[in-house]
Amino acid sequence: MLLNALTLHMPTTALEAAKLFKQEDTKVLAGGTFLLNSLKLLKHKGTKTTHNILSLAKAEDLKGIALQGDTLTIKAMTTITDLLENPLTVDNLKVLHTVCQNISTNPIRNMATVGGNLTCRYTWTEMGAVMIALDAQMHFLSPEGKETVMPAEDFFKNAARAESLFTHVTVRKDPAAKIAYRRVKKTLNVDQPMLAVCVKAKLKGKQWGDARVAVNNGTAFAQRDRALEDFLNRSQSAPDLGTKALEHLTKEIYDTRSTDYKQHMFRVSIRTAIEEICKG
């Protein structure tokens, strides 16, 4: 299917891209796995499509992964494959390797980018819950070259709206943090997540602390279950902790547009994630 006529912009730096980002009627092209399908769907429906496409393919300063001290920087145009294969994802950051493995197929992972996954505004995408659990910080660049930083939690509370160009995300490597991730896909034949749960905590002996529980119910953007976090922070590891935790959920997170099966799988996912952390 031929798309409507458009203007393709290909800046070579992040700052140049940030200036173009603000022009009217512009969509960002990262890996293209979301945008191109979206444009085709709009054309098929006879809906007006955007006139300006901002490709970030040639902005080399938007690519790469680096560790400085205990802070891992993942730039927006880093592909899912690059993150999957990077040796810096260790300790609590191993969960990034797990999430990347869950994303589609090798050809898609070779094209799709971390920035595209985080900012595409589809509620079901993979990265949101994990970045919230890791207390990731998202970095944006204004046309004037000013950087702003926003916690991933706040970004998704704002429905993943980017007011300026997303350039990179930073996460802290913490060998003391334990993390468990569960994801259930929609069907055997549709490899999209129906739900995802990520639980992170630090244990002093058996006592839980610094718990973060991030949930993606597939119908709203990823969010924290603070009621469950409060319960876990008052708890000690025990064989039945996962089962007891199910009595302390923020129900509206899990019940929104949920079938009985989906609610059951949420409970299984939360229980087994907590049990995994209890077992170390």
pTM: 0.94
26, 38, 165 from 29: Cα distances, Å: 10, 11, 12
Using one digit for the tens of pLDDT, what is the confidence trace for 159-196? 999 999 999 999 999 999 999 999 999 877 767 889 99
pLDDT of residue 3: 67
Give me the half-sphere count of Cα atoms (radius 13 Å) on the Cβ side of residue 232: 29
Mean pLDDT of the chain: 93
pLDDT of residue 25: 87
In the chain (280 residues long), the average pLDDT of successive 10-residue segments reads 79 97 90 76 65 94 98 98 96 96 91 96 94 98 98 97 97 97 85 92 98 97 98 98 98 93 97 96
pLDDT of residue 47: 66
Among the listed residues 217, 226, 213, the one whose alpha carbon sits nearest the alpha carbon of residue 253 = 217
pLDDT of residue 192: 83
Using one digit for the tens of pLDDT, what is the confidence trace for 188-232? 776 788 999 999 999 999 999 999 999 999 999 999 999 999 999
Q: How far is 213 from 227, CA to CA, in rounded Å?
A: 9
